[in-house]
Amino acid sequence: MPTVVNKAKTNKETAENYISQVFEMIKKRNPNEIEFHQAVKEIFDSLVPVFEKHSTYMEHSILERISEPERVISFRVPWVDDEGKVRVNRGFRVQFNSTIGPYKGGLRFHPSVNASIIKFLGFEQIFKNSLTGLPIGGGKGGADFDPKGKSDGEVMRFTQSFMTELSKHIGPDIDVPAGDIGVGSREIGYMFGQYKKVKRGYEAGILTGKGIGYGGSLTRTEATGYGTVYFVEEMLKDKGLSFNGRTVVVSGSGNVSIYAMEKAAHLGATVVACSDSNGYIFDKNGINVETVRRLKEIERKRISEYVKEHPSAEYHEGCSDIWLTPCDIALPCATQNEIDEKAAKILIANGVKAVGEGANMPSTLRAVEAFQQNEVLFGPAKAVNAGGVAVSALEMSQNSMRLSWSFEEVDSKLKEIMTNIYRNSVEAADKYGHPDNLVVGANIAGFLKVADAMIEQGVI
């Protein structure tokens, strides 16, 4: 029936035209924000089949609305260094979308932080948080502060100053920050203390990732790394594969990486390499995760120190070369755009079977394309690393109820959440005509819940 074919084509063209017009407007309105453009492009491209089927989202200008943060806060963070000199950093909090819950998302302290980085992270967080199935909106924040080489006192003074301003904009039912790169349990502790000092009353649910002694949730530390492996395990299982006996490369050596390595090893894999921003270590017999954890989390040393304790391992300067290491499963758990097209092609040539993104947007758009064209199982960040924020939402529930669940209880909830995210992403990909494409599936599943709620709530 030629008329139907023509109509379908027209719908597709209309959808593509609308999406590309909005994307051009976003680029114009947010000049030079390349990471933000990249994150928006990935989502928008995935949504063509949705807009093709349902004109209602276009009629309600959903893309124009969802890509514009509800609020962007930028502020001065003055602090005094150990020499007595006054230093100034720039702090941010992007409150992107509160349709399905209070803004939720981490804080990143890293010299690369700017409006584009925080906006891309905040934008991704909307869809990631929606995928968890829990009532949390999307937000992100941070500062261009470099914690590397700073004393404990300097980190505390900076962090307190940061929270003095941030405290004016957050609340347990408004916006609940957590950690990200450069913000771990030490920084969360200092921020919690400062928040308590400037506010009246004890608001346990103001931050997540807290210490266990004052409202933190068991399993939160492990959640992003464990969740990453749980997701990839599901992805492998569907194809009759598993972690057992496989060689795994995990970039990074922070919180996500450490617990992804631990869980992968627990499932019978050999983790042969991990990295920090200076270089990477390789041991064909398997990395000792406990040594990495102590060096990085407790002693705050460089990964190069590892080989002093494990002479069988090699240290290589330059972190991006970690992708030259042949492996069956690659888990990029360091930072954005750490796998470019070239690195992806090397991984493919070396026979990689699955890639799971533990970090936020670690693969460039071209790298993702390369994986998909070569039939590498590919798990996108929003779905794969959602376990961290999911357990943060469970921490908020426990704080509201003033009780705490056991490690096993939270871990089993995490596993269930990761399995559901996987299933929902597969279903959405199938339903919208892109079977096996988890990028499309996760983006669509995350989008629909928020977009429908936005329509139900009127023009907000």
Pairing of strands 137-143, 103-109: parallel
How far apart are CB 360 and ligand GLU at their closest, in Å?
5
Comparison of 178 and 269: residue with beta carbon closer to ligand GLU = 178
Comparison of 23 and 192: residue with beta carbon closer to ligand GLU = 192
How far apart are CB 204 and ligand GLU at their closest, in Å?
15
| From candidates 40, 163, 178, 295, binder to ligand GLU by CB under 6 A | 178
How far apart are CB 166 and ligand GLU at their closest, in Å?
14
Catalytic residue among 140, 263, 296, 382: 140
Comparison of 257 and 392: residue with beta carbon closer to ligand GLU = 392
Q: Which residues, numbered 288-307, are part of the site for ligand GLU (CB under 6 A)?
A: none
State the Cα–Cα distance between residues 279 and 324, nearest whole angstrom. 13
State the Cα–Cα distance between residues 424 and 447, nearest whole angstrom. 12
435 φ/ψ angles, rounded to the nearest 5 degrees: -55, 145
State yes or no: residue 208 binds ligand GLU (CB under 6 A): yes
Half-sphere exposure of 315 (CA within 13 A, CB side): 15
How many residues touch ligand GLU (CB under 6 A)? Answer: 10
Contact of 336 with 108, CB cutoff 8 Å: no
Comparison of 106 and 441: residue with beta carbon closer to ligand GLU = 106
DSSP string, 35-68: HHHHHHHHHHHHTHHHHHH-THHHHTTHHHHHTS
State yes or no: residue 255 binds ligand GLU (CB under 6 A): no
| From candidates 388, 421, 439, 441, binder to ligand GLU by CB under 6 A | 388
From the list 27-35, 320-328, 385-393, 413-421, the region that binds ligand GLU by CB under 6 A is 385-393
State yes or no: residue 332 binds ligand GLU (CB under 6 A): no
State the Cα–Cα distance between residues 199 and 172, nearest whole angstrom. 12
**How far lies 252's CA from each of 68, 166, 293, 384, in Å?**
31, 28, 12, 16
Give the CA angle between residues 167, 169, 170 to the nearest 5°: 70
State yes or no: residue 389 binds ligand GLU (CB under 6 A): yes
| From candidates 180, 234, 283, 357, binder to ligand GLU by CB under 6 A | 180
State yes or no: residue 206 binds ligand GLU (CB under 6 A): no
Q: Which residues, numbered 103-122, are part of the site for ligand GLU (CB under 6 A)?
A: 104-106
State yes or no: residue 360 binds ligand GLU (CB under 6 A): yes
How far apart are CB 288 and ligand GLU at their closest, in Å?
26
Comparison of 154 and 395: residue with beta carbon closer to ligand GLU = 395
State yes or no: residue 215 binds ligand GLU (CB under 6 A): no
How far apart are CB 335 and ligand GLU at their closest, in Å?
11
Q: State both tokens at 55.
A: 């004109």
Closest residue to ligand GLU: CB criterion: 106
State the Cα–Cα distance between residues 391 and 133, nearest whole angstrom. 12
From the list 57-65, 296-304, 369-377, 386-394, the region that binds ligand GLU by CB under 6 A is 386-394
**How far lies 175's CA from each of 76, 167, 168, 395, in Å?**
20, 10, 11, 14
Percent helix / strand / coil, the chain, rounded to 5: 55, 15, 30
From the list 8-16, 98-106, 148-156, 417-425, the region that binds ligand GLU by CB under 6 A is 98-106
CB atoms inside a 10 Å sphere around CB 167: 17
Dihedral (CA of 7, 8, 10, 14) sign = positive
Contact of 194 with 163, CB cutoff 8 Å: yes
Q: Is position 140 annotated as part of the catalytic site? A: yes
95-116 as b/e: b if 16+ CB within 10 A: bbbbbbbbbbbbbbbbeebbbb
Residues with a catalytic annotation lie at 140
* Interacting residues with ligand GLU (CB under 6 A): 104-106, 178, 180, 208, 360, 388-389, 392
